[in-house]
Amino acid sequence: MKAFKGFVIKEFYHIFRDYRTMLILFGIPIAQVILFGYIITTEINEAGVAVLDNSKDAVTREIQNQMLASGFFKITAQLSSETEIESIFRKGIAKEVIVFGANFEENLRKGEGSDLQIVADASDANVANLLVSYTTAIVQNYNRQQMADMQIPMQIEPRVRMYYNPELKGVYFFVPGIMSVILMLISAMMTSVSIAREKEMGNMEILLVSPLRPIQIIIGKLMPYFLLSFVNAVSVISLGWLVFDVPVNGSIVLLLAESMLFITLALSLGLLISSVAASQQVAMFISMLGLMLPTILLSGFIYPTENMPLWLELISYAMPPKYYIIIAKDIMLKGVGLRYLWPETLVLLGMTLFFLIVASKKFKIRLS
């Protein structure tokens, strides 16, 4: 036991003395949360809009005011003819042009219906879609306000409510994903690299010759990274909460317990990688390509797996982060408990056991 303790202490020396390890351990998680939180956002904020107002009456002014007041738009140009639209888009002054037809207010009062055209720059399809739907919503809202006085008997009025994320904040969605990426990266990559380093430098020879049992070497290697990854999980959750107001509606204890399970899974994957990688470079390469990309692309972190072609969707079921993301999202945003999350938890548990057993079996008690 004393031998084991000495081994773990040595492992901590390695980590704390190497500034690159420290940077990866603590710099990357913080940078990722902040970058993803601020940059990858699906929200619209003061998008440039140009207006071609052929009517210039009270109603068109009111609609423009409501758009401005929403905070989503800012009017960057007033046009005088349709021929200007193209050049506005080309110059990048506006992403959307709103064209009010002539006699807008008059036609509205007469009940003949007014012409309102929305022209969007669809070179960025997602943004164009969002702009159009936001604009439509504002116009309809105005419409409804006017109708309210007129008492139209039959009318279907959908009331939309966005559950769990009423403001549709992107960061709510990303924090669980980032957690899975960070835990995967730190746990798997760092352990595989650190075991590969022992092999590369010839230290493994002495460790094997020593009375340390293989299981002690394995656990001694995993434990420091387990603790540090756990610290990381806690700091990502707190950072999300403090900086981006991402809530933890469910049990924080359950969330941390599930995180520990996921960390163990990633660590055993790292162990498995190290048993096939003879050098630090190879270990790094396998972790990056084999774990990082699938974690980001196939786990449902950024792109929903349901929309993928069937074969990719099937592959995504084999990605451990997929289950962790579901669990973390459900606990943080929906606030559900283990009663609803046991299938995912069981899958993670099964995968962890599988990798741990395979990795331990593959760990060599001799050279080659």
Partner 1 sequence: MNNRSIEIVELNKRYGTIQAIKNINLTIQTGELFGLVGPDGAGKTTLIRILTTLLLADSGKASVNKLDVVKNYKQLREQIGYMPGRFSLYMDLSVEENLAFFATIFGTSIQENYDLIKPIYSQIEAFKTRKAGALSGGMKQKLALSCALIHRPKVLFLDEPTTGVDAVSRVEFWEMLKELKNTGITILVSTPYMDEAELCDRVALMQNGEILSIESPDELKNNFPHDLWYIKAENQYKLLQILRTWEKTYSAHGFGQSIHFVSQDSQMKEDEIRQFLESKTCKIQRIMRIGASIEDCFMELMNQPKKA
Binding site for partner 1 (CB under 8 A): 2-3, 5-7, 10, 13-14, 17-18, 201-203, 205-212, 365-368
Q: Concatenate the DSSP letters of all residues of 141-194 into one string.
A: HHHHHHHHHH--S---------SS-TT--HHHHHHHHHHHHHHHIIIIIHHHHH
Q: Which residue type sits at 146?
A: Q
Lookup: tokens for 51: 């207006």
**Minimal distance in Å, beta carbon 261 to partner 1?**
30
- Residue 7 CB, nearest approach to partner 1 (Å): 6
State the Cα–Cα distance between residues 114 and 108, nearest whole angstrom: 6
Nearer to partner 1, 5 or 74 (CB): 5
Half-sphere exposure in the Cβ direction for 259 (13 Å, CA)? 30
* Beta carbon of residue 304, minimum distance to partner 1 (angstroms, whole number): 44
CB of 306 to partner 1, least distance (A): 47
In the complex with partner 1, which residue's Cβ is closer, 57 or 200? 200
Residue whose CB is less far from partner 1, 70 or 216: 216
Helix (H, G, I), strand (E, B) or coil at 100: strand
Residue 10 or 56 having the CB closest to partner 1: 10
Q: Where are the alpha helices (DSSP H) in the chain?
A: 2-17, 19-22, 28-38, 58-70, 84-91, 104-110, 125-150, 170-184, 190-200, 203-209, 214-244, 252-276, 280-287, 293-297, 310-316, 320-329, 338-362
> Which of 10/74 has CB closer to partner 1?
10
Q: How far is the CB of 201 from partner 1 (least distance, A)?
A: 7
Instruction: Rank residues 21 and 103 by Cβ distance to partner 1 and give the closer one.
Output: 21
Least Å from the CB of residue 218 to partner 1: 14
